[in-house]
Amino acid sequence: MMSSPVLHVKARCSQYPGSNVRRCPVPDDKVDWSQSWPEYAPVNHTSPVVEKKPVWADPDIGSFSPKFNTLDGNVDRTSFERVYEVRDGKPLNPRGRTGVTGRGLLGRWGPNHAADPIVTRWKVDAQGVKMHHSVSKQPILQFVSIMRKDCGEWAIPGGMVDPGEQVSLTLQREFSEEALNSLSASPSEKEEILKRIIKLFKSSGFQVYKGYVDDPRNTDNAWMETVAVNFHDESGNSVSELPLQAGDDAGQVQWVDVDSSFPLYASHSYFLELVARERKAHW
């Protein structure tokens, strides 16, 4: 399922996350770059974390010349959306204005590629029978959800695709690191975790979404894109049986019922709605 070009909202939130920076307010009718707006005065902001030049971040424009809209060495600077415009040496967000220029909290100029593994199981009773929602009468899905340490919001466990890394490996690695806390597990525990994950992730999964993410970290010159894939433990004997522990960027982790009333980070609610439709489950 490809993305649909709708107006980004969270990418125009009034205060940029992790800072005291207030965005220049962008009304709906001025989001698109095709709309003339000579008075537009976005705030320039790149987080001190990014300015310290960690390995995952680009240098400043001017000190290097990235190749946009292509594979630049082992850094993928192509967008799932379309060929994006480059103005004054800087890429323009394909979904339009955000009220902030620079990179904010994002490392790459242009698209910052992530992968989101949506791991699901059926909610069952003590006898192992599927439970159905009292109103919709449809079976209830549960998914692995983490509480992000940076903002306190619940989210799908996911993360950035490392340069040159296959997305399939990113999906498996991020689920292990964030949801199963494999980084601090004992050798024997890691072996068991790996067996279960490989069993689940060896399937191709259902690609839920591929495209732009309406993320509060987005700016006019840097934005999030993701591939979200659903790995479903149909029988409930794979990762469903593993004790979940929070790790890496996660504050808490648990199995959560898939339901439209459960608030989630960025575009994650939309991803889960697509999963529920595909699995003919309650939403």
Average pLDDT over residues 49-61: 95
Residue 146 has what pLDDT?
Answer: 87
3-state secondary structure 62-74: CCECCCCCCEECC
Q: Of 50, 41, 42, 40, give the one whose Cα is nearest residue 18.
A: 50
Inter-CA distances, 133 with 145, 251, 258, 259, 283, Å: 20, 29, 11, 10, 9
Residue 3 has what pLDDT?
Answer: 44
Q: Determine the length of the chain.
A: 283
More confidently predicted of 201 and 86: 86
Model confidence at 182, in pLDDT bands (50, 70, 90)?
Answer: low
pTM: 0.86
pLDDT at 43 over 70: yes
With a CB cutoff of 8 Å and minimum separation 6, the contacts of 67 are 77
Weakest mean pLDDT among 51-55, 197-201, 223-227:
197-201
Instruction: Return d(Cα 228, Cα 148) in angstroms, integer.
Output: 17
